[in-house]
Amino acid sequence: MTSRIPGFHALSRADRLAKVAEMTGLTNAELDHLTREAEASGDLCDHLAENVVSVMSIPLGVATNVIVDGVDVLVPMATEEASVVAAVCNGARACRETGGFTTSADAPRMIAQIQITGLSDPHLARARVLEHEADLKALCDAVDPMLVTLGGGFRMVEARVAGGFLIVHLIVDVRDAMGANAVNTMAETCAPHLEGWSGGTARLRILSNLADRRLVRARATWPVADLG
């Protein structure tokens, strides 16, 4: 058997599943089960992932007893692990009398990082980049006008010297999105301009996984006597 299947992605879901069954020796019962699972989801799964052959169900439970910011809520939880939902229910019940959970959240800001090398004077390059904040805003907001319409978009630029490198951060409000596509495209769009202003070469240009501008906090109080 070979895992090399040219054109596999172009097959229909049924044909992909048939190919897998042929190559791996699935029994008729196994094939029927996978077919039923896929049919239950309609065509939605083909729009969510690549090379889909079936769907794997996960139990959906509901956590009770939860109060968030003074409001009683039911929390849906999809998990196959035993005791998780029960633990949430018990923990939430134990802190109900002290007000439940209180939350807060920062603005949804993510960072696009561009690293610039080959600079004769990194500090001068930093100053020149910071002079072009308005230009960077125009470039970034033009990348995703829908994001701007929803209240997001470019917020500010930061730059620091690290050895011979210049590290530029574009701070972007991504609203309810995770933001990777928008932020990465903004970094790619701005990189040539940053090269021109700084006189260096833009290497890495990507979303930073350091999401410290987008923190969500939750706190609760449990009576010591209830903790055993």
CATH of the domain at 142: 3.30.70.420
pLDDT-derived band at 181, boundaries 50, 70, 90: very high
Query: Do residue 32 and residue 117 come from a single domain?
Result: no
pLDDT-derived band at 122, boundaries 50, 70, 90: very high
Is residue 55 situated within a structural domain?
no
Q: At 3, which helix (H) or strand (E)?
A: none
How many CA atoms, within 13 angstroms, populate the side-chain half-sphere of residue 29?
0
Is residue 70 situated within a structural domain?
yes
Strand order in the sheet with 201-207: 153-162, 165-173, 109-117, 201-207
Q: Given a cut of 90, is residue 3 above it in pLDDT?
A: no
Is residue 178 situated within a structural domain?
yes
Query: Do residue 128 and residue 145 come from a single domain?
Result: yes
For 126-159, the pLDDT digits (tens) are 999 999 999 999 999 999 999 999 999 999 999 9
If you count DSSP H runs as helices and E runs as strands, how many of each does the chain have, helices first? 8, 8
SS3 213: coil
User: What range does the domain containing 155 cover?
Assistant: 109-207
Is residue 1 situated within a structural domain?
no
Share of the chain above pLDDT 70, in %: 98
Residue 42: predicted pLDDT = 64
pLDDT-derived band at 34, boundaries 50, 70, 90: confident
Distance CA(135)–CA(157), nearest Å, equals 11
Q: Given a cut of 80, is residue 43 above it in pLDDT?
A: no
Is residue 3 situated within a structural domain?
no
Residue 10: predicted pLDDT = 87
Distance CA(132)–CA(110), nearest Å, equals 20
Q: Given a cut of 80, is residue 1 above it in pLDDT?
A: no
Residue 202: predicted pLDDT = 98
Q: How many domains is the chain partitioned into structurally? A: 3
What is the pTM assigned to this prediction? Answer: 0.74
Query: Do residue 127 and residue 139 come from a single domain?
Result: yes
Ranges 63-67, 132-136, 183-187: which has the least confidence: 63-67
Query: Do residue 115 and residue 201 come from a single domain?
Result: yes
Query: Do residue 26 and residue 93 come from a single domain?
Result: no
Is residue 26 situated within a structural domain?
yes
Higher pLDDT: 103 or 22? It is 103
Distance CA(70)–CA(72), nearest Å, equals 7
pLDDT-derived band at 103, boundaries 50, 70, 90: very high
